[in-house]
Structure 1
């Protein structure tokens, strides 16, 4: 009997000790650690809608250089790929045949001048003789006619000499424009034909044109008040570049809508002195609509993708993250406009759903969205900021 009482007492004591141990463990367990997350209040900024178009650059002036006279190439006076100036001699043709023609015509002119002087003298003598009735009227008229013939012959020879001197001058083939010259298509010693043989090509390099087509709806809604005289600012990006590094302006707008495509042809011009733009280059043109409106701005990295949807995580009651579907708008550097889904005053997780998800309580760390170096409107003052985005 005593043995059973002792066993029961030992069991009760052990249960009491176990309960005390559990209570002590529960009291010593640390509180749950919340994930620290950077959060920020969304921004509201005045923005312009940007439109991007693809194009290929064209040179304002491009020349397929051909000789004005036929002949043999005597020398090539340029280095292929060089910058040339208007008037620089590029090819020299054999000038000796042309010089011989000039010399022959000059001799013929001297002979014609002598004949003309004789005809003038005989005409004056005929007038005096006619006054004294020493010759007939027919003879006097014949001498006057001879004088007119000698004058005409001299004029014809002088015209031939002018043409021959031009041909002699044209044996020096010069550059008609400033620009960059290509390679020589025909080399020294070859015969070239006037107006047929393409010696080389030259493109001007002080400016480049970019033609692009704007659809009628976009033009009427965003650019209807733009004219060529207003010099609407545009920026351009070449293939392989991340920045829109070149600034230009619109200098031509076509006079009608293309009825086949429903687009309007527009031209932008880019002036640059560093020879970095080449005709034929593929490029992207960006220009801003004239209308300005307020938009919610958030960091691009705050946006998550869920199948076809875009979403952000907002901070709700008790610092619990909430799932919000959004519709995104224009991109401004590392920032993005949101057209629906967020309101002014909303607080979002700025680094997106990389480490957290909806329904998760967090420890918010408030930060400010950085807008330095970002232009939300495209004006002459901040176009360089846009170019860096």
Structure 2
């Protein structure tokens, strides 16, 4: 009996140990692979961009000063308003000028009357001399008097013309179309001709932007352009994230600045909506004329490793690989790659945000969206010149 009990105990223990051994040697379950968006790199014809800082300038600026001295009688403009050429801005007290004009008009009339008398006497002297009824000396004297009277009329007429100009200049008018500033001198104050600055006016229909290109860049990328080429540029103001203003180069200086090694250019921009103001700080982008094909990828696909830039590509068995790259120009949310990637490479679109090199992934194929991005400024290639650069 005892022998049977021992035998059953040994058998039971063997079964239990056998079950534990089977449990411990079972293969662990495989973890699911990380799903990652991947896309094939784009190949696009692109132009290199060059960015320059500038300040917006008005083509015409006037520091308004009076042409005659006097006392301000009326300020006829609204500060900060748009004015047109010929609009009355400031009226000086014109009574002194009117008095001078009236006086000279009377003097001119008197001189003209004296001239008519001198003409009559000179003609009479000629007739008398024909009959030998008057001496030659008397004839010459009357002719001389006539010449003096003619000169007197001309002199007084010139003084009258000047006085009438002074009277006209007492009404100070806008010399250009533009936007007027505030009045520096107000009603009741005396102003001095050619010295007192009354206000300022800047034209606003077009705006200029001067910028300097270094000699090397000019020779490499722009030496074949002229002002007649109307090379296109785009511009943004401080605080803007896009380059919404389109213009073109309308002036190229005639020599390189020997001190700085730069060439001065000027771009012109239409300003129909008055959004550009003189003195504004701005950035200009100019596209090189050469068009080349480059690899384009999303900026978020690029990782940083110390001083290096890298991209994760999809290799055999969907394992991510580390590739060093060199960056080119930025085009909106996309970036050109000058080396490190080749046509047909598949990249992790979102970069090393959740994955790293050597990691197997479950690829989810997507396309890189390049709609609305201008890679060139040539109209036959650009999809949208007003894209977000």
TM bracket, shorter-chain basis: over 0.9
Matched, 1:19 2:7: no
Matched, 1:199 2:201: no
Which residue number corresponds to residue 32 of structure 1? 31
Deviation at 1:384, TM superposition (A): 4.5
Unaligned runs of 5+ in 1: none
Q: 1:92 to 1:375 in 2, by over 3 A?
A: same
* 3-state SS of 2:385 partner: helix
Greater mean deviation of Cα atoms: 29-38 or 179-188:
29-38
- 8 Å CA contact 1:66, 1:194 repeated in 2: yes
Which residue number corresponds to residue 250 of structure 1? 249
Deviation at 1:388, TM superposition (A): 2.6
For the residues of structure 2 that align with 1:170 and 1:377, how far apart are their CA atoms? 53
After TM superposition, list the pairs within 5 Å mapping 1:146-185 onto structure 2: 146-185=145-184
Q: 1:383 to 1:269 in 2, by over 3 A?
A: farther
For the residues of structure 2 that align with 1:386 and 1:339, how far apart are their CA atoms? 25
Deviation at 1:135, TM superposition (A): 1.3
* 3-state SS of 1:322 partner: strand
* 3-state SS of 1:97 partner: helix
Deviation at 1:379, TM superposition (A): 1.9
Which residue number corresponds to residue 269 of structure 2? 270
* 3-state SS of 1:156 partner: helix
- 8 Å CA contact 1:378, 1:386 repeated in 2: no
- 8 Å CA contact 1:247, 1:383 repeated in 2: no
For the residues of structure 2 that align with 1:48 and 1:38, how far apart are their CA atoms? 28
Deviations 1:123-178 (A, max 9, x none): 11111111111111111110110011001001101010000000000000000000
CA RMSD of aligned residues (A): 1.4
For the residues of structure 2 that align with 1:321 and 1:380, how far apart are their CA atoms? 39
* TM-score after normalising by structure 1: 0.97
Deviation at 1:44, TM superposition (A): 1.0
- 8 Å CA contact 1:51, 1:286 repeated in 2: yes
Deviation at 1:65, TM superposition (A): 0.3
Deviations 1:217-256 (A, max 9, x none): 0000000101000000000010000010000000000000
* 3-state SS of 1:49 partner: strand
Deviations 1:265-324 (A, max 9, x none): 000000121110001000000010000111011011100111111111000111000111
- 8 Å CA contact 1:90, 1:175 repeated in 2: yes
Deviation at 1:4, TM superposition (A): 4.6
For the residues of structure 1 that align with 2:318 and 2:379, how far apart are their CA atoms? 43
* TM-score after normalising by structure 2: 0.97
For the residues of structure 2 that align with 1:384 and 1:318, how far apart are their CA atoms? 40
State the number of aligned residues.
Answer: 386
* 3-state SS of 1:385 partner: coil
- 8 Å CA contact 1:89, 1:174 repeated in 2: yes
For the residues of structure 2 that align with 1:299 and 1:49, how far apart are their CA atoms? 17
Unaligned runs of 5+ in 2: none
Which residue number corresponds to residue 356 of structure 2? 357
Matched, 1:321 2:323: no
